[in-house]
A and B are shown apart, each in its own frame.
Chain A
Amino acid sequence: MRYDSITEAIGNTPLVRIDPAVHGLRHIDLYAKLEMLNPFGSVKDRAAWSMAGPSLDSAAERGATVVELSSGNTAKALALLAGMHGLKFKSVTNRMRVPEIKELLLLLGAEIEELPGQSECLDPTDTDDPLTRFHQALAGPDTTYLHTDQYFNPRNTEAHATGTGPEILKDLDGRAPDWFIACVGTAGSSTGVARALREQDPEVNVVGLVAHKSDFIPGIRTIDEVHQVGLFDPATYDTIESVTADEAIDGMLTLIRRCGLLAGPTGGAAYHGAVRHLRTVDTELAEAGVTERRTAVFIVCDRAESYLSYVRQRRPELLGRPARKNSAASLSEAEVRAEATVIDTAEARRWIEDGQPRPLVVDLRGPHAYAALHIDGSVNITDEIFDELVRGGLPFSKRQPVLLACPIGEKSARYAALLARMGHPDVRSLSGGIVAWRDAGAPLVRD
């Protein structure tokens, strides 16, 4: 395969059969359309290229900025496409909820604007909702934006009607599957694929999956939110069902651990929703004594790597690691009390003045707090860094006495106990911390 541009690698993704031993369906062959293997990593590559591609050259001439309401994969694809054409990309969003995606977008050179939250003292007559303001800004005079408008742009749907859908048909030897299951985000992929499949066979059963209302699954809308999408037409779907975040993660785990597919939670939601829906049908087929095999296709939108913090937040045990050694967190309150040497401000001042040798004062606070005010002569090792340091062993010589200080003497006592346990003979904690030091009228400096 040899290409002149990475955009030529968009599309033509594989259709992979899921092992029946995994999904347990006896009469249905289930296939995953691996949109995660698009070059920018998601199904959105197609829509982004379809929507922006034709306008990029003229946009470059007038120095326009590409702008989209997206917190995820569309933004990612558009940012890369914009960069290839020397254009800036701006993503406007209702909250970037997945930190890895946010950082990845920044790495790609995107500018991110997060829209404000809802008013606490609500004024129901207020017409100035943030999205209205956004659209006003785009429509203003002298605008230099190329707004791809993924929720209303028919070229979004078109990309799938002419690309994704026909590819599925080709790989199924020209036959449409009996079921097509897709998560609904912009509704572009589900609508476009459904159109192509139904042209081949109007009997195709289309299942739309939305997120459970109180849950958040990246890239999927809830049943309320889909109504706000211009491309969404309820008539496209024979059924709309909801999936919880937990189920999405379960599905993702199955795809990753048992199928070798490095899918993200959206793909997991599609798999889970597909199997749940098809299981009922499968039983009915068995009861009816049907012997011929049926086919179902679902879409794996993107990859797992960007969603580790999403998983960590919801199912930390999946990323669980054994407790590490020399961890301050492993000490109980009683152990800290019994093993930490604690001294008050007056005693600490005497020790700093007259100690032989004098103690090294370590301030465990953040660097800005330290810079603003600290005990004269102290060094700043922020607790997070200190935590890493002690994991490897004692960070000071045993002949060097140490006074640890934190805001109120809680963290420092914990580390004092830990260092004592690690064999340091003279480490003490400032009781009541910098707060008590200040309240006692002891001097604090900024250098």
Chain B
Amino acid sequence: MRAPLYLQPRLEPPLDSLLEDASFLHSLVDSLGSPLNLLLPDRIVENAAGFRGVYHKHHLAGRVYFAHKANQASSLVRRLTATDPAAVGIDVASLRELRHALECGFTPDRIMATGPKDPEFLWLAARTGACVNIDSPTELDQLARLIRAYDLPRTDILLRLSEFEASAFATSGTKVLSRRSRFGSPVREVDALLDAVERHQGTVRLTGVAYHLDTTGVAEKAVALESCVAVMDACRARGTDPRIIDIGGGFGVGYVADAGQWERYTTELAEAVLGARPALTWRGHGYGLRNEGGTLRGAQALYPAHRPTAGPGYLDELLAHPGPSSGRPLATLLLEHLYDLVCEPGRALVDQCGVSLARVLDVRRTGQDSDDLLVRLGMNAGDVSLEEHGVLVDPVLLPRPGPQDRAEDGADEEPVGVYLAGNLCLEADLITRRKVFLPRLPRAGDLLAFANTAGYAMDFHAHHAQRQPVARTVAVTRQEGSWRWCLDEEYWPITRVGGPVS
């Protein structure tokens, strides 16, 4: 075998020390079954502080909102509930997420309702006093009707805008094409939207504008943010005084620790697609790349798993980026125009907050004509949907402690490339279509820990198909030097071992 193409995960405290405690993790899976999700609620507070630190650096006021859809757990939401109300809020995208945020203790002034909304969702948001991120003029009319019909309090709204074009506002001369989004109202129709806000003045209060761009490109976001400043100035000219520019999420997470590993892997993947080296993927899957007469075509459909700047670092880079038309740094623009910043990181706010565990059930060759090894896990592709999001990263092998830890023959202590198969009776159920390199061949009873799965990967696609168990989730905290755990639904930030803190 060539040198193993590791993609080792980035591990930070406290996730790194948790993964060193193999006997604790094995005992958890022994008690609660495989798969099992673990959450580290204390880490989300640190992450929020990281984002707020970037705000402070640029002298900006405003909240960081956790985009709840990234993870459905209660412990994370409850832990955030107990943080500074002026610093952290929650972004809910469904009726049940709104209910969950309320029952976890978020006061409505800290809740932002976004995404596609049904009437019940709109009603409860307005009823309780959450801020509504308005997606379209129709939605604004619908909200205003509900408020009048049910005599609800005047509701704070943000206008979500889309289809920004640099040339629309700028003098930079270039046209920055943006990724299309199905959310938000086109910025060129903003006048009609502001007319509607004025018509509904008795029912809604405009507090700002918002955008969400699904892109890693800083330049596109700079165009959007500068356009939002222009729209806010237009609101001022009309006599309203909105304060907030909500720049959405999309700040990214670095999953792979080492840039060199990522570069080597992606190069070898291209070579494999071109046939210049043995396949690196199940049945030669190309991850969006294809070989057309020796030329590589298509686009690599992979999340950039090694990212030198992600999360707060990316926000910092964005805020320091010059506005395409004014040339002034975006943070300076916000500050000079007296606007507050709001952002809604999902994935980045739960960076390092969770891990998904799976037990190794057996290891075998795929067939007589192949040397490929198949490791079957007590988990399926829906339980840890890294593949679904194009995230490539190795699991951490946690040997089962005890006598069988000693290799019987020593032969399997070599690095090895294996395919990871799930527990569904489906040919397609592979945890990842990539050959995964591990420091040695796993044995039945070992655990594989998929690190950093709290953002979208942990329970986003989990389902009850074929009646396989869906992962239980536990919250893990460090107390007096040892790990404590409880079921996610039992976690409250005030609870310690032996009952609530008085």
Contacts and interface: CB of A to CB of B under 8 A. Distances in A.
B287 interface: yes
Contacts of B287: 124
Interface string A367-383: 01111110000000000
A69 to B, nearest CB: 13
A232 B326 CA distance: 41
B338 A373 contact: yes
B220 A117 contact: yes
A258 interface: no
B59 A120 contact: no
Interface in B263-310: 263, 266-267, 270, 274, 287-288, 294-299, 301-304
Interface stretch (B73-81, B168-176, B412-420): B168-176
Interface string B20-52: 000000000000000000000000000000000
Contacts of A17: none
Given A118-B304, A119-B214, A113 B177 contact: yes
A347 interface: no
Name, among B215, B217, B220, the residue most crowded by chain A CB atoms within 10 Å (CB to CB): B217
Contacts of B338: 369, 373, 407, 434-435, 438
Nearest to A125: B301
Interface string A84-114: 0000000000011000001000100001111
Name, among B174, B301, B326, the residue most crowded by chain A CB atoms within 10 Å (CB to CB): B174
Interface in B175-209: 175-179
A22 interface: no
Nearest to B294: A233
Contacts of A370: 336
Given A214-B259, A228-B295, A435-B338, A368 B175 contact: no
Contacts of B175: 111-114
Nearest to A382: B328
Contact of B215 (A96, A117, A407): A117
Contact of B263 (A115, A120, A121, A214): A214
Given A227-B274, A410-B59, A114 B219 contact: yes
Contacts of A106: 173-174
B145 interface: no
Interface residues of A, number: 49
B440 interface: no
B298 A121 contact: no
A319 interface: no
A407 B335 contact: yes
A253 B90 CA distance: 53
Interface residues of B, number: 55
A366 B336 contact: yes
A130 interface: yes
A408 interface: yes
A369 B230 CA distance: 10
Contacts of A371: 233
A410 B331 CA distance: 14
B99 interface: no
A116 B177 contact: yes
Contacts of B326: 366, 368
Contacts of B259: 214
Contacts of B229: 368
Contact of A129 (B295, B298, B332, B337): B298
Contacts of A154: none
A416 B332 CA distance: 20
B491 interface: no
A229 B297 CA distance: 9
A41 interface: no
Nearest to B250: A120
A112 B176 CA distance: 8
Interface stretch (B353-361, B384-392, B444-452): B384-392
B333 interface: yes
A366 B335 contact: no
Name, among A95, A111, A131, A366, the residue most crowded by chain B CB atoms within 10 Å (CB to CB): A366
B366 interface: no
Determine chain A's interface SS by DSSP, over half rule. loop
B472 to A, nearest CB: 26
A384 B224 CA distance: 24
A213 interface: yes
B497 interface: no
A365 interface: yes
B216 interface: yes
Given A223-B267, A408-B335, A126 B296 contact: no
A180 B56 CA distance: 55
Interface string B231-268: 00100110000000000011010000001000100110
Contacts of A435: 335, 338
B244 to A, nearest CB: 15
B270 A224 contact: yes
Nearest to B337: A369
A96 B219 CA distance: 10
Given A122-B390, A227-B270, A407-B59, A373 B219 contact: no
Contacts of B299: 129, 131-132
A401 interface: no
A435 B58 CA distance: 14
A230 interface: yes
A266 B287 CA distance: 31
A325 interface: no
B6 interface: no
A120 B389 contact: no
A151 B59 CA distance: 47
A146 B259 CA distance: 40
Interface in A143-177: none
A293 interface: no
A122 B307 CA distance: 15
B332 A366 contact: yes
B328 to A, nearest CB: 5
Contact of A117 (B217, B270, B389): B217
Contact of B179 (A119, A223, A366, A369): A119
Contacts of A406: 336
Contact of B336 (A121, A122, A407, A446): A407
B303 A122 contact: yes
B211 interface: no
A121 B174 contact: no
Contacts of B106: none
A126 B301 contact: yes
A117 B219 contact: yes
Contacts of B388: 124
Contacts of A113: 174-175, 177
A285 to B, nearest CB: 32
B278 to A, nearest CB: 17
B253 to A, nearest CB: 10
A124 B177 contact: no
Given A113-B174, A368-B326, A121 B295 contact: no
Contacts of B390: 122, 124
Nearest to B276: A234
16 contacts: A112-B174, A113-B174, A114-B176, A114-B219, A117-B217, A118-B215, A120-B249, A122-B303, A124-B288, A124-B387, A125-B301, A224-B267, A228-B296, A369-B333, A373-B337, A408-B59
Per CB-CB distance, the 4 closest pairs between chain A and chain B, nearest first, are A117-B217, A369-B336, A129-B299, A120-B250
Given A118-B217, A124-B287, A407-B336, 8 more contacts: A95-B217, A116-B217, A118-B216, A119-B216, A122-B391, A125-B301, A214-B259, A369-B337
